[in-house]
Amino acid sequence: MPLFRRQQSCPSVRRKTRLQTQPESEIDAEPEASNRPPAIQAVYSLMSNSSKLFLAKPKPQTPAQTPAQTPHKPYSHSVDAVSEHELNPLGPGMRVATPFGLGKIVAVRGDDGTTAVQLQDSGVAYFGTAVMDEMLAVPALVGERVYTPSGYGRVLRYDVREQLYTLRLAAGGGLGEYELQLRPADVRPADHKDTRQSRRPRGLSEGSMDWDSRRSSSSSRARLSGSSPGTNGLAILKNFATTSYTFVASKYHHGQPVITKFGAGHILTVDPQRCTAQVQLLWGATAFLNADMIDYYPKALEGTDVQTKFGSGVVIGLRPADGIYTVRLHQMQLNGKSDVVYVPESDLYRVRKLAATAANVRGRLKAMAQRRFGERIVVAHENHGQEPSSAGI
């Protein structure tokens, strides 16, 4: 035992390092703890360990002790954390669709998000953040010139509820104009470089028709001057068919069914210089109509034999605006099914061509002879008492 005391007090032996968090009183009291009674030792043990049962307020760390953090990258957060407002912010100068119509943002107040919008139909309106969340950015306002997959046009109106533009576009080839409804995704503002072309004539307004299409059609007529008038007319009508979304057929020829403002009929001849067509109406009259007086170019009219996926039948009704035909099938249906079906235009085919009149046949023969021989042909009639009619086209 004396040897142990000498080794403990020997200066060559390193003493145990004193803990910084341990108070001096506890360190000094450690040698005397063995001499205390068991009850007092239990009390001291509870007092020394009770601080671990409660959460202590952490000490404020100095900047030198603060661990270095990785710099936050703005593009490192997930897509779900990005709000729609961040992806498509509505700032000053943007065109928007509000519950009260189209307008342009004038200013946005940063503290509360109040936005001032200059409406087209009225003055300046102020909207809060709740209304701004329902607003949509639009490409153009009413009256502005836009570009669509069908060409250039102007905005007539905008349906806020349906989110549809109503546009006025030129049909091309001098055939007038037509209206078209498109989604805002298919409409974009017309660039000034796209519209900076040759000067329009005085009698042609900017909103009436597309001068580019008229100039191209005039050049095409110059190239096709050696061909027949019928070929020129078919080319113009095909141009109208490809540039409009109205209910039109894929071919334009003599006998093409049409629905005009005076009734249904068939095309006899086309005059491309005057942009007129001669139409034989079903009720017996012959009409010389402008192209804008022809509303639809269906595949078949009432009474035409057609072929459908349900079988052959005859057209008893049609809705040209929707392209739906009402067909009565020739064959009786089994199991009590109705013999009247509704067929879209894409599933309908004509069984035979419409019967052409004798005058139409003579006109086609004259046109063919004129192209073939380049001379005037006189067609003999059965009644020799009458003078022969000339085939001048």
Burial class (CB in 10 A: 0-12, 13-18, 19+), 176: middle
Cα–Cα distance for residue pair 229/371, rounded to 1 Å: 10
Q: Taking residues 227-237, what's their average pLDDT?
A: 51
- Residue 42: phi and psi, rounded to 5, are -65, -40
Asked if residue 38 is part of any domain, the answer here is no
Answer whether 391's CB lies under 8 Å from 370's CB.
yes
Task: Report if residue 278 sits inside a domain.
Answer: no
365 membership: H or E segment, kind and range: helix 358-373
49 occurs within a structural domain: no
Burial tier of 158 (Cβ tally within 10 Å: 0-12, 13-18, 19+): buried
Each residue's pLDDT tens digit, 45-89: 656 655 555 555 555 555 555 555 555 444 444 444 444 444 456
pLDDT tens digits along 316-346: 888 888 888 888 888 877 777 788 888 888 8
Confidence of residue 198 (pLDDT cuts 50, 70, 90): very low
Q: How many domains does the chain have?
A: 4
With respect to residue 175, please indicate whether it lies within any of the assigned structural domains. yes
CATH number at residue 127: 2.30.30
Inside any domain, residue 70:
no
Identity of residue 117? V
For the residues 306-316, what does the mean pLDDT come to? 87
Closest listed residue to residue 324, CA positions, set 316, 333, 332, 334: 316
Q: Could you tell me where the beta strands, DSSP code E, fall in 183-336?
A: 188-189, 257-260, 263-271, 276-281, 286-290, 294-296, 305-308, 311-319, 324-329
C-beta separation of 315 from 329 below 8 A: no
Same domain, residue pair 311 and 367: no
CA dihedral (165, 167, 171, 175) positive or negative: positive
Do 146 and 218 lie in one domain? The reply is yes
Report the predicted TM-score, pTM, of the whole model to 2 decimal places.
Answer: 0.32
| CA 113 to each of CA 59, 83, 132: distance values in angstroms, whole numbers, following the listed order | 40, 15, 9
Per the CB < 8 A criterion, the answer to whether 266 and 255 are in contact is yes
Q: Are residues 156 and 210 in the same domain?
A: yes
Compute the distance between CA of residue 345 and CA of residue 249 in angstroms, rounded to an integer. Answer: 9
Same domain, residue pair 151 and 216: yes
- Look at residue 385 and tell me if it is in a domain: yes
Range(s) of the domain holding residue 163? 142-192+205-223
The H or E element containing residue 389 is strand 389-390
- Specify if 210 maps to a domain: yes
